[in-house]
């Protein structure tokens, strides 16, 4: 086939029939009559002739004999699809198998065209904020966007503003964190991370990625740490984990979004809802709270015994080297879990239990709430309480590992003489945050005519870019290499008391990590906040998925998908307080000889490696993720200042929030 890219057009307007026009260049698939669904066969000619003279490109679709699609079609077109539901995962797996087994791209196109109007649109592969805007924005805004595109010609359309905070009022203290939970970029990042690190697939090689279990633990640990710093930025105390499954969930959440697929509102959860045993026949779900408790107890037992039991009865040690990775795969759980019968499926089922708490037996025929989908879960306050609980289990393991010794932390001959951060023209060691309005094109996901761009204008947190300046002395007499690790945490706890090291370490957010060469004598290292190994730039979080997109099914396309993974740079710095949030910035230069992974880095997207890894490569650091804060400090160290070896340094930094809004200039 001349242009494999045509396959991508099938992602356009996912709930409209396949014969409708697609793409920026008006493209129509010439669909054989036998491929049309009964409902559309009588009207397809009439509809096609309506766009007839505007068509710029026709794509022929070959009539082939279609493989058995009964399993993929067993999920209704208008049902909500969730990866957390085992039944839905099996259905998706079957569809992937069918697609992967087609002999040629032409045949793949034929079966994809045939399947498009018959299987659930959520089963399609990549979907993004542009393809499914309903997962990210208010239903009222979607209605306004429809209106704008009906009435106004493309080109003179105004962006439709997403209200600044619309899901609750200030009577709900949790609502102060709307800008984090409902941030488009954060939800996209989370969705993207789970897309590139799936926990199940029929081909094991798709799941088996280096350190995937550890990375699951680490990115969610960092989300909790970041969320807690944001709580301090809003005069709220740290999260209490959801650790008693029979207690009511104190927080309610009303998403105010419509699902375009199901044409239904996402169900809300009232305050003080309790979990119940799940028995939903249509979803093939029959799980008890008791199952969750049993799995949890067995996981704790394994941690305390120091080993897990695999399916053949062998002991797999939970040691310093691979223990955390094993636990990650076991708790999430992924198909790499050493024993899914014994240790179950705790984390995924937690999502499912919470997302069905409003209708556990399907009595009201309601679908799952936002916790049931990785693209929407982070909007709900309970997400953070559930993941805090999951993190507690990981921390139980970490607290049993030997503390790092001074020797393991130090880099003999290398010392930090001073550190400073500067925003352009601002006072040293002061960071500034404010609000910004930006426009994102949402047009691909809207199933309505006339076509053309429709922009949503949303408000998000932003900070002034800044630079780290680090003075390092290398007294070893030779050129050396260092791994520079930068973290930040609040200085004081919620009562204003200086934090203890064992609490502060769990609030350390990673800001950057990079390799530097050190000449003998004094060195000055400068690094910009926009270079962070944690984040990707705004443009990449919200990139145009049509421009420069490689052909479907190629290695370049996989890389293109991977490139979207990364914490959004506009959320690098926590919001801070109007009067200033007192934080401590920590920098360590560790010995790169101990940390390095020898591998060739190919491709363009290794710049958000801290939270996303590097595609098809090893995680680029031999130390544990979160090092040196992933374990309890050595005995005698109760404050951060006593933890420091000469190759580490700290400085007080104030984050000030200015309550002003600027429009982003494109």
Q: Which is nearer to ligand CUO, 190 or 513 (CB)?
A: 190
Using CB under 6 A as the binding rule, the residues of this chain from 594 to 613 that contact ligand CUO are none
Element (H, E) at 264: strand 264-265
Q: Counting contacts by CB under 6 A, is residue 192 touching ligand CUO? A: no
Q: Among candidates 520, 495, 565, which has minimal Cα distance to 198?
A: 565
380-419: which residues touch ligand CUO (CB under 6 A)? 387
Question: Nearer Cβ to ligand CUO, position 231 or 351?
Answer: 351
The alpha-carbon radius of gyration of the chain (Å, integer) is 26
Residue 358: both structure tokens together: 């409003």
- Name the minimum Å distance from CB 333 to ligand CUO: 11
Q: Which is nearer to ligand CUO, 397 or 527 (CB)?
A: 397
> Residues with Cβ < 8 Å from 407, sequence gap 6 or more?
none
Residue from 374, 421, 509, 585 touching ligand CUO (CB under 6 A): that is 374
Which is closer to ligand CUO, CB of 245 or CB of 651?
Answer: 245
User: What is the Cα–Cα distance from 613 to 604, expressed in whole angstroms?
Assistant: 13
200 included as an active-site residue? no
Pairing type for strands 509-518 and 480-490 reads antiparallel
Looking at the DSSP bridge assignments, the partners of residue 568 are 536
- Cα–Cα distance measured from residue 350 to residue 479, given in angstroms and rounded to the nearest whole number: 51
Smaller CB separation from ligand CUO, 116 or 385: 385
CA distance 658 to 464: 11
Q: Which of 63, 332, 366, 531 is catalytic?
A: 332
Contact status: 285 vs ligand CUO (CB under 6 A): no
* Three-state secondary-structure class, residue 391: helix
Q: Which is nearer to ligand CUO, 12 or 391 (CB)?
A: 391
Nearer to ligand CUO, 94 or 220 (CB): 220
Instruction: Name the minimum Å distance from CB 219 to ligand CUO.
Output: 8
Query: Is residue 657 part of the contact set for ligand CUO (CB under 6 A)?
Result: no
Residue at token pair 């352009």: 424
Q: Does the protein bind ligand CUO through residue 377 (CB under 6 A)? A: yes
CB of 371 to ligand CUO, least distance (A): 8
Task: Tell me which residue has its CB nearest to ligand CUO.
Answer: 377
Is residue 250 helix, strand or coil? coil
Q: Which is nearer to ligand CUO, 346 or 421 (CB)?
A: 346
Residues 6 or more apart whose CB falls under 8 angstroms from that of 150 comprise 448, 450
Identify whether the C-beta of residue 605 lies closer than 8 Å to the C-beta of residue 562: yes
- Please compute, for residue 249, the number of CA atoms within 13 A of its CA located in the half-sphere on the CB side: 27
d(CA 71, CA 92): 9
Counting Cβ atoms within 10 Å, is residue 290 exposed (0-12), middle (13-18) or buried (19+)? exposed
Q: What is the closest distance, in whole angstroms, from the C-beta atom of residue 216 to ligand CUO in the complex?
A: 7
Phi, psi of 498 (to 5 degrees): -55, 135
Q: How far is the CB of 257 from ligand CUO (least distance, A)?
A: 18
Q: Which is nearer to ligand CUO, 8 or 390 (CB)?
A: 390
The b/e string for 389-423 (b: 16+ C-beta within 10 A; e otherwise) is bbbebbbebbeebeebeeebbbbebbbbeebebbb
Distance of CA 391 to the CA centre of its chain: 16
Residue 25 burial (10 A CB sphere; 0-12, 13-18, 19+) = exposed
# of chain residues touching ligand CUO (CB under 6 A): 8
Between CA 109 and CA 8 the distance in angstroms is 10
- How far apart (Å, rounded) are the C-alpha atoms in residues 616 and 555? 11
Question: Please, what is the minimum distance in Å from the beta carbon of residue 332 to ligand CUO?
Answer: 7
Indicate the residue among 351 and 480 with the shorter CB distance to ligand CUO.
Answer: 351
Residues facing residue 460 across a β-bridge: 436
Is residue 190 a contact residue for ligand CUO (CB under 6 A)? yes
Distance CA 360, CA 369 (A): 11
CA distance 418 to 211: 34
- From residue 469, give the alpha-carbon distance in Å to each of 466, 528, 580, 648, 651: 10, 9, 22, 14, 12
In the complex with ligand CUO, the residue whose CB is nearer, 61 or 188, is: 188
Quick one: angle between helices 86-100 and 105-116, nearest 10?
140
Taking CB under 6 A as the criterion, the residue among 94, 351, 451, 460 binding ligand CUO is 351
Helix (H) or strand (E) holding 589: strand 581-591
Active-site residues, by number, are 332
| Binding residues vs ligand CUO (CB under 6 A) | 190, 194, 220, 347, 351, 374, 377, 387
């Amino acid at each position: 086939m001349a242009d494999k890219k045509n396959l991508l057009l099938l992602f356009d307007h996912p709930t409209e029939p396949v014969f409708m026009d697609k793409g920026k260049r008006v493209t129509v698939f010439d669909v054989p009559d036998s491929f049309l669904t009964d409902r559309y066969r009588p009207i397809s000619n009439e509809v096609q002739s309506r766009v007839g003279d505007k068509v710029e490109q026709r794509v022929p679709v070959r009539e082939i004999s279609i493989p058995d699609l009964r399993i993929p079609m067993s999920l209704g077109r208008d049902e909500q699809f969730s990866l957390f539901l085992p039944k839905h995962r099996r259905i998706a797996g079957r569809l992937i198998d069918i697609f992967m087994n087609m002999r040629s791209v032409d045949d793949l196109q034929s079966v994809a065209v045939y399947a498009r109007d018959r299987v659930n649109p959520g089963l399609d592969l990549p979907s993004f904020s542009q393809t499914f805007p309903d997962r990210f924005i208010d239903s009222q805004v979607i209605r306004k966007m429809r209106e704008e595109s009906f009435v106004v010609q493309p080109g003179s359309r105004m962006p439709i503003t997403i209200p600044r905070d619309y899901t609750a009022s200030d009577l709900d203290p949790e609502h102060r964190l709307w800008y984090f939970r409902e941030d488009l970029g954060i939800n996209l990042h989370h969705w993207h991370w789970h897309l590139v690190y799936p926990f199940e697939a029929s081909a094991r090689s798709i799941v088996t990625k280096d350190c995937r279990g550890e990375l699951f633990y680490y990115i969610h640990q960092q989300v909790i740490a970041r969320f807690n710093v944001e709580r301090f930025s809003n005069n709220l105390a740290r999260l209490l984990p959801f650790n008693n499954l029979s207690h009511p969930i104190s927080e309610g959440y009303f998403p105010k979004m419509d699902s375009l697929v199901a044409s239904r509102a996402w169900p809300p959860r009232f305050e003080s809802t309790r979990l119940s045993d799940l028995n939903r026949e249509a979803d093939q779900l029959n799980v008890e709270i008791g199952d969750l408790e049993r799995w949890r107890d067995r996981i704790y037992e394994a941690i305390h015994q120091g080993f897990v039991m695999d399916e053949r009865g062998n002991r797999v040690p939970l040691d310093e080297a691979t223990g955390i990775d094993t636990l990650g795969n076991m708790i999430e759980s992924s198909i790499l879990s050493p024993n899914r019968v014994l240790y179950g499926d705790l984390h995924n089922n937690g999502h499912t239990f919470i997302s069905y708490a409003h209708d556990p037996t399907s009595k009201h025929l309601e679908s799952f709430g936002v916790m049931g989908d990785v693209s929407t879960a982070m909007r709900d306050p309970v997400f953070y309480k559930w993941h805090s609980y999951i993190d507690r289990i990981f921390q139980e393991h970490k607290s049993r590992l030997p503390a790092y010794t001074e020797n393991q932390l130090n880099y003999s001959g290398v010392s930090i003489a001073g550190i400073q951060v500067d925003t352009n023209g601002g006072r040293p060691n002061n960071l500034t945050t404010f609000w910004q309005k930006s426009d994102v094109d949402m047009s691909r996901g809207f199933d309505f005519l006339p076509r053309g761009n429709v922009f949503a204008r949303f408000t998000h947190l932003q900070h002034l870019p800044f630079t780290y300046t680090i003075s390092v002395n290398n007294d070893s007499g030779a050129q050396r290499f260092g791994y520079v690790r930068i973290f930040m945490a609040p200085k004081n706890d919620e009562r204003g008391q200086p934090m203890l090291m064992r609490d502060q370490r769990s609030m350390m957010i990673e800001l950057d990590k990079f390799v530097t060469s050190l000449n003998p004598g004094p060195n000055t290292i400068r690094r910009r906040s926009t270079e962070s190994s944690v984040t990707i730039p705004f443009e990449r979080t919200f990139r145009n998925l049509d421009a420069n997109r490689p052909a479907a099914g190629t290695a370049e396309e996989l890389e293109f998908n991977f490139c979207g993974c990364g914490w959004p740079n506009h959320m690098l710095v926590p919001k801070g307080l109007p009067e200033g949030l007192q934080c401590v910035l920590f920098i360590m230069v560790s010995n790169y000889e101990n940390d390095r992974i020898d591998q060739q880095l190919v491709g363009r997207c290794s710049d958000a490696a801290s939270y996303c890894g590097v595609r098809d490569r090893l995680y680029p650091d031999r130390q544990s993720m979160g090092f040196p804060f992933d374990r309890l400090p050595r005995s005698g160290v109760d404050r951060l200042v006593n933890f420091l070896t000469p190759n580490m340094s700290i400085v007080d930094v104030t984050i000030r929030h200015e309550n002003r809004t600027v429009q982003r200039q494109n």
